[in-house]
Chains A and B, each alone.
Chain A
Amino acid sequence: MAAEIANPSVSIQDLSLNFGAVSVLQTLNLDVADGEFIVLLGPSGCGKSTLLNCIAGLLDISDGRIFIKGKNVTWEEPKDRGIGMVFQSYALYPQMTVERNLSFGLRVAGVPKDEIAKRIARAAEILQIEPLLQRKPSALSGGQRQRVAIGRALVRDVDVFLFDEPLSNLDAKLRSELRVEIKLLHRRLKNTMIYVTHDQIEAMTLADRIAVMKGGVIQQLDAPQTIYNRPVNRFVAGFLGSPAMNFIDGRLEKDGGDWHFAVEDVRIPLATYAFEKEPAPGPAVFGIRPEHVAFNSGTGWPFTATANVEVVEPMGSDTLVWLKLGQQNFTVRVTSERTPKNGDAVSIGFDPLRASLFDGQTGDRI
């Protein structure tokens, strides 16, 4: 588990939320360090947006406490929590110009005019939207709208930024551009940011730490690389990575002093595998990512095998090859120059050091 954070910017303690009999969030705990970029990642319906709305104060919670900057804000109104929020649909006020959109919160709060002008000028400069200030949102492109939406959070001078899938409504090219901009913005502002997405690329590229959620529970909270390389359970392993990790159902067996993974007549030696806990013989799942499998690379690997090519999927930069290893489907990622043809028999090899082993029943990492 991650180390205790001394002075958390946002601290969620035993948070629960029920809609009637349905439990959406269950005694959830999360500490976010000052200036940290946390990404809440999970499939739709996992409670990540709900959690964000609870932090923002837009949903009443059933149990628990929320602290922001050391202040208990559990019963506070959204405006008093020191948060700014950016929504998926931008949620710009359509009848107001960009400038009025940016200043709305400040005008409501009664901030003096010259102070408002100063803050808008700063936000417009940071986000490069100065030429757009007098336009209505309907006259802006999707990327510009999202920039204005970020600006609206920016002018409020808050401690914590909340992003609710801010890039999901944009096309792929704009998404990757704005992703970089958000990263630069975070580097410049050094605010705490909590970012909800179902896009693993956004999560991997932006986050200091990722919280992978499922069914209202945080499955794993860790740095992106750790989550990618050492997922704590089968769900996290399968959710991250595209193409997905290969899973092989089999048994964990001990042969003499050495553990190995057995499926049909194949034996995968686990001498190099770093066990998370004391292994026990029994059903298990062996997982390995497609890019960690070497292709036609001869011997020298702890494990090698021969397999038949079923389907070849060229993806431009590289190629995904679907293989049949015994009765198991298996994908391998290869560089485009070495693409095999359908029906070829090829040899593959990998090092179990890069693999993940999961308990056959619980799905937890072994």
Chain B
Amino acid sequence: MADVASLSTSAQALRRHATGPSGPKPRHVLSRRNIFLYGTLIVVALYYLLPLYVMIVTSLKGMPEIRLGNIFSPPMEITFEPWVKAWASACTGLNCDGLSRGFWNSVRITVPSVLLSIAIASVNGYALANWRFKGADTFFIILIVGAFIPYQVMIYPIVIILREIGIYGTLTGLVIVHSIFGMPILTLLFRNYFTSMPEELFRAARVDGAGFWGIYLRIMLPMSLPIFVVAIILQVTGIWNDFLFGVVYTRPDTYPMTVQLNNIVNSVQGVKEYNVNMAATILTGLVPLIVYFISGKLFVRGIAAGAVKG
């Protein structure tokens, strides 16, 4: 209210001579606009949050309570048993050590894939944006076309290639596959970001004597934190959530978490343990969720920085 007071000096002068509207236009909390706006927001938010609510509630119930069929009612007796079982002792095929095995597999897939793909793609993007080498445009077009080829077309050829070089079914193979498939979109992302940086900065660094790696490491890298955060989020969530490559390129003992989740949820023997399934699903989705929560602000800033000139 302080700045309203300071602004109103001229308004006071006017008020002495005229009556009628003056000062800020009054806003009603229950105006038609507000009802529509917040009404829509609340409905949409509920629509998205309801399934999550059902999952959390179900995962905290025992099986007898679930059989009553009241999926929206809160648990009468809270139990963490399903969570423990999902993590440590749910059975998938031969193993009965729960999701923990898949979790660590996924970590061992995601971390190197993210680091490798971002390291290569950022240098790619930097070279394409700043060092207009001969054939750069052709190279870029080929890379972008690569982003539009359906994965299904390439699955079998890659199986053969991995088998021939002897890393089919290993985590190394999957890491390489993830890094390659992340390349087009990440390179595009980095190229656009580096293109948006003032060209004169790059020229100044060249006059100062910095070379290809010098400019990349000492000038460009420190300026591109936002776009690295975007790339990390894209890759972590993308690779963590991947199912297709995981199921095709690994063996049961190296299955990532998503594939294992599927095996737990879709196992046909015995009673369907809905509470364990819900807990397992939430556990699997927790990593991307945490990444979003931690980096939400940086993510938005990075997307904006990549889109418009920074």
Chain A residues with CB under 8 Å of chain B are 53, 56, 58, 77-79, 83-85, 87-89, 91-95, 104-105, 108-109, 152, 156, 164
Q: List B residues at the A interface (Cβ < 8 Å).
A: 198, 200-201, 203-210, 214, 218-219, 222-223
- Also in contact, A79 and B219, with CB within 8 A (given A88-B200, A89-B200, A108-B214): no
Q: Given the known A-B contacts A91-B198, A94-B223, are A85 and B214 also in contact in the complex, defined by CB atoms under 8 Å?
A: no
**Residues of chain A within 8 A of B207, CB atoms compared:** 56, 58, 78-79, 83-85, 105
Inter-chain contacts of B210 with A (CB < 8 A):
104, 108
CB distance from B259 to the nearest CB of A (A): 42
Chain B nearest CB, measured from A55 CB (Å): 11
- For the complex, give the distance between the alpha carbons of A106 and B205 in Å: 11
* Cα(A89)–Cα(B203), bound, Å: 11
Q: Which residues on the A side are within 8 Å of B201 (C-beta)?
A: 91, 93
Q: Which of A53, A78, A89, A95 contacts B198 (CB 8 A)?
A: A89
A79 to B211, CA, bound (A): 10
In the complex, are the beta carbons of A79 and B206 less than 8 A apart?
yes
Q: What is the bound-complex CA distance between A132 and B96, given in angstroms? A: 65
Measured between C-beta atoms, what is the minimum distance from A6 to chain B in Å?
28
Query: Please, which residues of chain B bring their CB within 8 A of the CB of A156?
Result: 208
Interchain nearest-CB distance for A344 vs B (Å)? 43
User: How far does the alpha carbon of A89 sit from the alpha carbon of B309 in the complex, in Å?
Assistant: 14
Chain B residues with Cβ below 8 Å from A94 are 223
Q: Which of B200, B208, B219 has its CB near the most chain A CB atoms (within 10 A)? A: B208
Give the docked Cα–Cα distance between A164 and B203 (Å). Answer: 12
In the A-B complex, the 3 residue pairs with the closest CB atoms: A79-B209, A105-B208, A91-B204
- Which chain A positions have C-beta within 8 A of B223? 94-95
CB-defined contacts of A53 to chain B, threshold 8 Å = 203
A-chain residues with CB within 8 Å of residue B198 when the two chains form the complex: 89, 91
**Given A88-B200, A94-B223, are A58 and B206 neighbors across the interface (CB < 8 Å)?**
yes
Q: How far is the CA of A134 from the CA of B222 in the complex (A)?
A: 18
The residue on B at minimum CB distance from A103 is: B208
- CB B34 to nearest CB in A, in angstroms, measures 39
Q: List 12 A-B contacts (CB under 8 A).
A: A78-B206, A79-B207, A83-B207, A85-B203, A87-B200, A91-B204, A93-B201, A95-B222, A104-B208, A104-B210, A109-B209, A152-B204
Closest B residue, CB atoms, query A56: B207
Q: In the bound complex, do residue B200 and residue A91 qualify as a contact, i.e. CB atoms below 8 Å apart? A: yes
Residue of A nearest to B221 (CB): A95
Apart from A79-B208, A104-B210, what 18 extra A-B contacts exist at CB < 8 Å?
A: A56-B203, A56-B207, A58-B206, A79-B209, A83-B207, A85-B207, A87-B203, A89-B198, A91-B198, A91-B203, A93-B219, A94-B223, A104-B218, A105-B207, A108-B208, A108-B210, A156-B208, A164-B200
Tell me the smallest distance from the CB of B248 to a CB of chain A, in Å.
Answer: 43
Compute how far the CA of A85 lies from the CA of B207 in the bound complex, rounded to whole angstroms.
7
Chain A residues near B218: list those with CB within 8 A. Answer: 104
Which chain B positions have C-beta within 8 A of A108? 208-210, 214
Chain B residues with CB under 8 A of A164: 200
Smallest distance from the beta carbon of A101 to chain B beta carbons, Å?
9
For A78, the chain B residues whose CB sits under 8 A away are 206-207, 209
What's the minimum C-beta distance from A149 to chain B, rounded to whole angstroms?
8
Q: Please judge, given known A-B contacts A91-B198, A93-B219, A108-B214, whether A85 and B204 are in contact too, CB under 8 Å.
A: yes
